[in-house]
C-alpha cells in the first residue's frame, strides 16, 4: 500500500472485460446495459478496459484524449514501449470512457510473459492455444497500466472490477506485484462447469466429488482453469451472478463467493398497461405472415386459435434443455390430440447452427403468399373503385347497387384462381428453414424425427427450426429478436446449465410468460424473490430434485396448462409478468455492484473505516441520513455464525457496518416511488429475506418494501441456537437455490 492515505469517498473505477466494445457473448449485454447506472454513480471516474478489435472498435468508440493527466501519462509511458491503445468514449447510452489495448502490439513478448506467469503463479500455458495467448497478453497490459496509473495517482482509491477468466490474469499480477488497487472478480459461469455439463453427467449431485484438476486436464483446459482459479483466490472480493453458480464455484473453484451480483436489463416502463399489449398484437401479426407462408398448402388451422412458443440461445443441445423441450412438445401434441382440442401450437427453435442456405420450400412459401397478398390487394382496390363508381352514379337510387358479379370481373377471378392454385403442395411443411450442413447427424433434427413431429395435418403441435440469428433483413422470418419475442405467447428455456439466463429475463421485461428451471440463475432468483412465481407467469421446472422423466412431465403439464388458457387469461398473465420487470431493472440491481465495491474498499483500506482512523474526516457521508457506526470490530471480514449467507451482500456489508442504502453512493439510491403499485388489481407477494435489516435498508432486495422486521433480540437468539447446533459456531453452508 502507498504511504499516502488514499481517499475512499470518491474512488476511481476501472471495469475490465474481454467483451468491452467487442460483442462475443452475453457479457457484452451485461456490461453495455449496466453502463448508465454505473456512470450515474461514478461519472468521469469510471473507465472500461478491453481488447482492441479493429473490426468493431471504429464503429463503437469515438477516440479522444484522456482528460485525466495520470491516465494520459500512463498511456504515454506504455506507448513509448510500443504498446498501442485506443482511448475514447463508447458510443452507447451513458457514453463511458473506454480504453482498448491492442494485444498484437506486444505479442513478441508472449514467451517472456508466459515464463513470468509460471514463476509468479505456477500457471502452465501450452504454445498453441490462441485464446489463452491473447488472454495472457491482455492481462499483462492491464496490470502494466494499473501499475503505471497508481504510481502516478496516489491520493484516490482505485477499484478494478474484472469479469470472467479472460480478464483474470491481471488480478493475480496485481496481487503479486503489490499494485495498490482493490479488486473484484465476477465469474458469469465456471469453465469446468460448462465442460462437465456438456457431457452426460449428474453435475449438481456430484459437485463435491469431482477431482477438478483431473477433470480439467482430461478436457485440455487445465491452464485456463488455473487462470480462473488464481483470479478467484487473488481477488479481494469474489462474486458470481446467481446462487446456483455460487454453489458451483465453491466446489469447482474452491472459494465461497462473497456475494451474488444478478444481471439486469434497462427496463422501459410504459405509461399505460395496454401499450405493451398492442406491441404484442402487432408483432404477432408479423409472425402470422411467416406462418401462412411456411405452412402454405396445409393451413388447416385457425391463426386466432394458434399459440406461438419458442426457445432461443446457443446451440448447446443438452445444456439449454432443447432435448427436454422437444420431448415435452411430443407429449403436448399427444394430449391435445386425445383431448380433441382445436388449439394449435407452433414451436420455434431459434439457435444458430451450421447451414448451407435457405431451403427452397421456405423461400417459395413466402413468395407465393406474398404474391397472393399483392393480388388480393389489387383486386380489393379495383372492387373499391367499381363500387365507388356505381354509388356515385346511383343519384340516390338505392336499387342501383351492383351485384357481386359486377364488382368481381372475370379477369379478377382468373387471376385469383391462379394464385390459389399456386398454393397447392404435395409435401409436408418443412421442419427447418435452412439446408443443414449435417442434416443426418444434427441432434435437434434427429430427436424431431424420433418423436415424429413432422408438421402433418393431424399434429396439433407444429415445429419450426430456424438455425440462424433473427434480424429484420432475413428473407424468411424478417423480424428482430426483440420484436419476435414480443409476438410470441410463451418462452421455454428448460436449461440444465444456465448460470443466469438472459432469455427468460428478456421475456419477463417484455411481458411474455416464460418457463425456466431451478438450475438457472434466473429461476433461482425468481424463486427467492416471489412467493408463487408460476402465478406471475414465471414457471419453474424442477430439474434439481426430480428425475429427467418427472421433469419432462412437469414441463409438458406447464405447456398443456398454458395451451388450455383462454385469451382473457393469457392477457391477464401478460399483465402480471410485465409488472415483474422492476425486479430485473439495473436501477434496482445496480446497488449490488455498489455493495461489492464497498466491501472491496473495506478489505483493502480497513483503517479508513474502522476505529483507530479519523472516520469523520476520512469517510464522511455528509448527505447520508446516518454516520458509520464506530462500535464495529476492526476486522474487514465477517465470520459470525449464521450471518453470512453467500450471495447476500446486504447481509455482509449492511449488518457488519450498520450501513444504509445512501451510504453506497453518498446520496439516496433511486427509489422509484413514482411507480403506482396500487394500479394493479392483484397483489404481488414478495418473499422476506432471512435477515430483516438488510431488507429494510431500502434497495438491497430489488422490489423490497416495508415488512415487519425481526428485532435484534430475535436474531441474537437465532444465532445462539445455531451456534449450539453446529457446536463449533460455523455455518452449514448453503443450498444450491440460495437458501441457507
Q: What is the DSSP string of 624-692?
A: SSSPPPTTS-S-SS---TTT--TT-HIIIIIIHHT--GGGGTSSPPP--TTS-GGG-SS---BPPPSSH
Q: What is the pLDDT of residue 638?
A: 31
Q: What is the pLDDT of residue 643?
A: 31
Confidence at 237, pLDDT banded by 50, 70, 90? very high
Comparing C-alpha atoms, which of 721, 317, 684, 667 is closest to residue 533? 684
Share of the chain above pLDDT 90, in %: 64
Q: What is the pLDDT of residue 272?
A: 64
How many angstroms separate the CA atoms of 275 and 270, rounded? 7
Q: Which pTM was predicted?
A: 0.79
pLDDT, tens only, 168-220: 999 999 999 999 999 999 999 999 999 998 877 889 988 999 999 999 999 99
Is 4 a residue whose pLDDT tops 90? no
Q: What is the pLDDT of residue 542?
A: 95
Q: What is the pLDDT of residue 524?
A: 92
Is 1 a residue whose pLDDT tops 90? no
Q: What is the pLDDT of residue 164?
A: 95
pLDDT, tens only, 605-659: 988 886 554 433 333 323 332 322 323 333 233 333 333 333 344 334 334 444 4
pLDDT, tens only, 359-409: 999 999 999 999 899 999 999 999 888 888 888 887 777 776 778 888 888
Q: What is the pLDDT of residue 200?
A: 74
- Strand, coil or helix: 115: helix
Pick the range with the lowest mean pLDDT from 320-329, 380-389, 680-689, 712-721: 680-689
pLDDT, tens only, 148-173: 999 999 999 999 999 999 999 999 99
Q: For the chain, give the mean pLDDT.
A: 84
Confidence at 714, pLDDT banded by 50, 70, 90? low
Average pLDDT over residues 696-723: 50
Q: Which residues contact 275 (CB under 8 A, 6 or more apart)?
A: none
pLDDT, tens only, 547-562: 999 999 999 999 999 9
pLDDT, tens only, 253-288: 999 999 999 999 988 876 666 788 889 999 999 999
Is 710 a residue whose pLDDT tops 80? no
The count of C-alpha atoms lying within 13 angstroms of the C-alpha of 416, restricted to the half-sphere facing its C-beta, is 11
Is 92 a residue whose pLDDT tops 50? yes
Q: What is the pLDDT of residue 693?
A: 35
Q: What is the pLDDT of residue 652?
A: 42
Q: What is the pLDDT of residue 143?
A: 97
pLDDT, tens only, 581-620: 999 999 999 999 999 999 999 999 988 886 554 433 333 3
Average pLDDT over residues 82-91: 96
Q: What is the pLDDT of residue 723?
A: 63
What count of residues does the chain have? 740
Query: What is the side-by-side order of every strand in the sheet holding 46-51?
Result: 61-63, 85-90, 97-101, 46-51, 7-16, 156-163, 182-187, 237-240, 259-260
Amino acid at each position: 500500500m502507498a504511504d499516502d492515505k488514499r481517499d475512499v469517498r470518491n474512488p476511481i473505477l476501472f471495469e475490465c472485460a474481454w467483451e468491452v466494445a467487442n460483442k462475443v457473448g452475453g457479457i457484452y449485454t451485461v456490461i453495455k446495459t449496466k453502463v448508465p447506472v454505473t456512470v450515474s454513480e461514478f461519472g468521469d471516474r469510471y473507465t472500461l478496459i478491453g481488447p482492441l478489435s479493429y473490426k468493431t472498435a471504429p464503429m463503437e468508440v469515438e477516440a479522444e484524449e484522456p482528460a485525466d493527466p495520470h491516465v494520459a501519462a500512463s498511456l504515454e509511458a506504455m506507448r513509448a514501449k510500443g504498446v498501442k491503445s485506443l482511448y475514447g468514449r463508447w458510443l452507447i447510452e451513458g457514453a463511458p470512457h473506454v480504453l482498448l489495448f491492442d494485444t498484437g502490439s506486444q505479442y513478441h513478448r508472449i514467451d517472456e510473459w508466459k515464463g513470468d506467469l509460471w514463476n509468479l503463479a505456477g500457471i502452465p500455458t501450452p504454445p498453441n492455444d490462441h485464446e489463452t495467448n491473447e488472454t495472457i497478453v491482455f492481462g499483462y497490459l492491464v496490470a502494466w497500466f494499473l501499475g503505471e496509473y497508481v504510481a502516478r495517482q496516489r491520493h484516490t482509491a482505485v477499484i478494478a472490477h474484472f469479469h470472467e477468466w479472460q480478464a483474470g490474469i491481471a488480478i493475480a499480477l496485481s496481487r503479486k506485484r503489490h499494485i495498490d488497487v482493490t479488486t473484484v472478480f465476477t465469474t458469469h459461469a465456471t469453465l469446468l462447469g460448462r465442460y462437465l455439463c456438456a457431457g452426460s453427467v449428474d453435475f449438481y449431485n456430484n459437485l463435491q466429488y469431482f477431482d477438478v484438476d483431473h477433470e480439467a486436464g482430461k478436457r485440455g483446459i487445465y491452464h485456463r482453469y488455473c487462470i480462473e482459479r488464481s483470479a478467484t483466490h487473488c481477488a479481494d472480493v469474489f462474486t458470481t451472478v446467481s446462487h446456483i453458480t455460487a454453489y458451483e464455484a465453491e466446489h469447482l473453484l474452491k472459494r465461497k463467493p462473497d456475494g451474488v451480483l444478478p444481471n439486469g436489463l434497462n427496463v422501459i416502463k410504459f405509461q399505460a398497461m395496454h401499450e405493451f399489449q398492442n406491441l404484442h398484437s402487432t408483432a404477432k401479426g408479423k409472425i402470422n405472415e411467416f406462418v401462412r407462408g411456411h405452412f402454405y398448402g396445409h393451413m388447416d388451422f385457425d391463426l386466432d386459435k394458434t399459440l406461438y412458443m419458442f426457445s432461443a440461445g446457443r446451440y448447446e443441445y443438452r445444456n439449454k434443455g432443447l432435448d427436454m423441450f422437444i420431448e415435452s412438445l411430443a407429449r403436448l401434441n399427444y394430449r391435445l390430440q386425445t383431448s380433441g382440442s382445436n388449439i394449435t401450437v407452433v414451436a420455434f427453435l431459434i439457435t444458430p447452427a451450421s447451414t448451407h442456405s435457405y431451403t427452397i420450400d421456405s423461400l417459395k412459401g413466402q413468395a407465393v403468399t406474398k404474391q397472393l397478398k399483392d393480388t388480393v390487394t389489387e383486386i380489393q382496390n379495383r372492387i373499391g373503385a367499381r363500387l365507388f363508381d356505381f354509388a356515385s352514379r346511383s343519384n340516390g337510387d338505392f336499387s342501383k347497387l351492383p351485384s357481386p358479379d359486377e364488382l368481381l370481373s372475370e379477369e379478377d377471378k382468373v387471376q385469383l384462381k391462379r394464385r390459389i392454385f399456386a398454393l397447392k403442395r404435395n409435401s409436408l411443411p418443412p421442419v427447418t428453414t435452412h439446408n443443414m450442413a449435417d442434416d443426418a447427424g444434427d441432434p435437434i433434427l434427429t430427436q424431431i424425427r424420433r418423436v415424429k413431429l413432422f408438421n402433418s395435418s393431424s399434429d396439433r403441435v407444429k415445429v419450426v427450426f430456424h438455425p440462424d440469428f433473427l434480424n429484420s433483413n432475413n428473407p424468411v422470418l424478417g423480424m428482430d429478436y426483440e420484436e419476435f419475442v414480443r409476438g410470441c405467447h410463451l418462452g421455454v428455456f428448460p436449461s440444465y446449465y444456465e448460470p443466469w439466463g438472459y432469455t427468460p429475463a428478456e421475456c419477463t421485461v417484455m411481458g411474455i410468460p416464460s418457463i425456466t428451471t431451478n438450475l438457472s440463475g434466473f429461476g433461482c432468483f425468481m424463486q427467492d424473490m416471489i412467493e408463487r412465481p408460476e402465478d406471475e407467469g414465471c414457471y419453474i421446472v424442477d430439474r434439481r430434485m426430480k428425475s429427467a422423466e418427472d421433469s419432462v412431465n412437469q414441463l409438458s403439464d406447464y405447456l398443456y396448462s398454458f395451451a388450455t388458457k383462454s385469451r382473457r387469461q393469457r392477457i391477464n398473465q401478460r399483465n402480471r409478468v410485465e409488472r415483474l420487470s422492476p425486479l430485473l431493472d439495473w436501477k434496482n440491481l445496480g446497488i449490488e455492484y455498489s455493495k461489492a465495491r464497498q466491501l472491496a474498499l473495506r478489505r483493502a483500506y480497513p483503517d479508513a473505516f474502522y476505529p483507530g482512523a479519523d472516520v469523520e474526516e476520512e469517510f464522511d457521508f455528509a448527505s447520508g441520513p446516518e454516520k458509520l457506526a464506530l462500535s464495529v470490530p476492526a476486522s474487514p471480514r465477517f465470520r459470525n455464525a449464521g450471518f453470512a449467507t453467500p450471495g447476500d451482500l446486504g447481509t455482509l456489508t449492511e449488518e457488519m457496518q450498520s450501513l444504509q442504502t445512501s451510504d453506497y453512493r453518498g446520496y439516496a439510491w433511486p427509489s422509484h416511488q413514482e411507480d403506482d403499485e396500487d394500479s394493479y388489481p392483484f397483489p404481488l407477494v414478495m418473499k422476506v429475506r432471512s435477515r430483516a435489516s438488510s431488507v429494510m435498508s431500502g434497495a438491497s432486495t430489488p422490489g423490497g418494501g416495508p415488512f415487519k422486521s425481526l428485532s435484534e433480540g430475535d436474531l441474537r437468539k437465532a444465532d445462539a441456537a445455531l451456534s449450539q447446533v453446529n457446536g463449533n459456531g460455523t455455518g452449514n453452508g448453503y443450498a444450491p437455490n440460495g437458501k441457507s
